[in-house]
Amino acid sequence: MNEAFSFEDVLIEPQYSDIESRSEISISSRLGDSVFRLPIISAPMDTVTESAMVRAIGECGGLGIIHRYNSIDHQVELVASSAGLGIKRGAAVGVNGDFLERAQALVAAGARIICVDVAHGHHIKVKRALGELKSVLPSTVHLMAGNVATLDAFNDLSDWGADSIRVGIGSGAVCSTRVQTGHGMPTLQSVANCARSDRDAVLIADGGIRTSGDMVKALAAGADFVMLGSLLAGTDETPGDVIDTIEGPKKAYRGMASKEAQSDWRGSVSSIEGVAHVVPYRGPVSEVLNEMAVGIRSGLSYSGARSIQELQARARFIRQTGAGAVESAPHIKAR
Ligand code: XMP
């Protein structure tokens, strides 16, 4: 049986650095013909990304992908109303029913990135969908697809026409896929395996990222971008109202395969592979993103790297023990 490592199982060895200021460090990353100042993408989930998130994350240098759990008209409206400031807009589609018509309408409304968004991306329906999308959409449209967990899947999706690929199955904060199905792979391991690909598809680490340290590890292991759900949940720009609770203000965050999400968007429930939760309300997403950017830059400086590419070339991972993992987080004891 192969071993597979999670974010918490590893650390990156600090190295000599001649970087005198973090302003010398670029954390920009390329997706197709666009360069993003921040290698962060917001997840296409109905408690994470609609117009306000696309605009806010776009202004901070990242990218938002509008979720597909709505009518074509509504999603088109969300794409249209997120226009602003050279902001690139992404929108998700499925692989069944109206997905081709939906994708064409989204592109007509200004989406430049179409994300084929399914739980198990290494699937014949994704192959067919990518082929059909390629044949009807302008060649300037960037096709993102996923999710996958293995190098074979990464290579196949690339060969089927995906320009970027979401890597990570079952790691997300509100995922229960592994409990329900017994399948999955720690995101960090999937990223490291997929990064061995000789294809040039962009690699997006997706699911289970809880800190800027996890982002640095994902980028060092070979990701070009990280996709975030829970770390952006609870901010002003996520859909949904602030809920007053005795523990303070909260907002909803739920897996798209949770019972609650399925019954809202599909009217019925099949395999439940996610959970619904509330998370603390956290104010403007720009503050959260700025903090992450500072953490990522600082991470690069510990490896003496001025860019994500340099980080990938230089980073040396070590495995830590359980005691090491305890030591790695604040552990002061109350006296
Ligand atoms: P984080 O950890 O950032 O993960 O909250 C976000 C990613 O979780 C995935 N996702 C799901 N996975 N069941 C799953 O197994 C679900 O219901 C579900 N909803 C979202 C998705 O890849 C997202 O980007």
Q: Give me the mean pLDDT over the 187-208 stretch.
A: 98
Task: For residue 184, give the ligand 1 atom closest to its CA.
Answer: 15
Q: Give me the mean pLDDT over the 50-67 stretch.
A: 98
Please report how many Cα atoms fall inside a 13 Å half-sphere around the Cα of residue 199, on the Cβ side. Answer: 20
Number of domains in the chain: 1
Q: Give me the mean pLDDT over the 231-238 stretch.
A: 98
325 in any annotated domain: no
Q: Is the CB of 56 under 6 A from ligand 1?
A: no
What mean pLDDT is reported for the chain? 97
Residue entry with tokens 């996610």 = 274
CATH number of the domain at 181, please: 3.20.20.70
Q: Is 194 considered catalytic here? A: no
Task: Please tell me the distance from the alpha carbon of residue 280 to that of residue 246, in angstroms, as a whole number.
Answer: 12
Question: Which residue's C-alpha comes closest to atom 14 of ligand 1?
Answer: 175
Tell me how far the alpha carbon of residue 44 lies from the centroid of ligand 1, in angstroms: 9
Share of the chain above pLDDT 70, in %: 99
Q: Is the CB of 65 under 6 A from ligand 1?
A: no
Question: Which residue's C-alpha comes closest to atom 8 of ligand 1?
Answer: 172
Main-chain dihedrals φ then ψ at residue 53, nearest 5 degrees: -70, -40
Question: Pocket of ligand 1, candidates 45, 209, 210, 228: which has the most ligand atoms within 8 Å of its Cβ, to mutate?
Answer: 45
Main-chain dihedrals φ then ψ at residue 147, nearest 5 degrees: -105, 155
Catalytic residue among 47, 49, 177, 238: 177
C-alpha distances in Å from residue 14, one per residue of 113, 188, 229, 320, 335: 36, 19, 29, 14, 32
Q: Is the CB of 149 under 6 A from ligand 1?
A: no
C-alpha distances in Å from residue 167, one per residue of 109, 121, 131, 186, 328: 28, 9, 20, 10, 26
pLDDT (tens digit, 9 = 90+) per residue, 257-308? Answer: 999 999 999 899 999 999 999 999 999 999 999 999 999 999 999 999 999 9
Question: Pocket of ligand 1, candidates 48, 174, 278: which has the most ligand atoms within 8 Å of its Cβ, to mutate?
Answer: 174
Q: Which two tokens stand for residue 297?
A: 């830059």
Q: Is 295 helix (H, G, I), strand (E, B) or coil?
A: helix
Judge whether residue 186 has pLDDT over 80: yes
12 in any annotated domain: no
- Please report which confidence band the pLDDT of residue 22 belongs to, taking 50, 70 and 90 as the band edges: confident
- Please report which confidence band the pLDDT of residue 335 belongs to, taking 50, 70 and 90 as the band edges: low
Q: Which two tokens stand for residue 4?
A: 């597979």
Q: Is 175 considered catalytic here? A: yes
Q: Is the CB of 172 under 6 A from ligand 1?
A: yes
Is the Cβ–Cβ distance between 76 and 110 less than 8 Å? Answer: no
14 in any annotated domain: no
Question: Pocket of ligand 1, candidates 171, 175, 292: which has the most ligand atoms within 8 Å of its Cβ, to mutate?
Answer: 175
Tell me how far the alpha carbon of residue 325 lies from the centroid of ligand 1, in angstroms: 24
Q: Is the CB of 170 under 6 A from ligand 1?
A: yes
Q: Give me the mean pLDDT over the 116-137 stretch.
A: 98
- Name the residue range of residue 60's domain: 34-320
Task: For residue 146, give the ligand 1 atom closest to its CA.
Answer: 22
pTM to 2 decimals? 0.98
Burial environment of residue 81 by CB neighbours within 10 A (0 to 12, 13 to 18, 19 or more): middle
Q: Is the CB of 229 under 6 A from ligand 1?
A: yes
Task: Please tell me the distance from the alpha carbon of residue 173 to that of residue 159, in angstroms, as a whole number.
Answer: 30
25 in any annotated domain: no
Catalytic residue among 47, 49, 115, 175: 175
19 in any annotated domain: no
pLDDT (tens digit, 9 = 90+) per residue, 156-174? Answer: 999 999 999 999 999 999 9
222 in any annotated domain: yes
pLDDT (0 to 100) of residue 332? 85
Judge whether residue 333 has pLDDT over 90: no
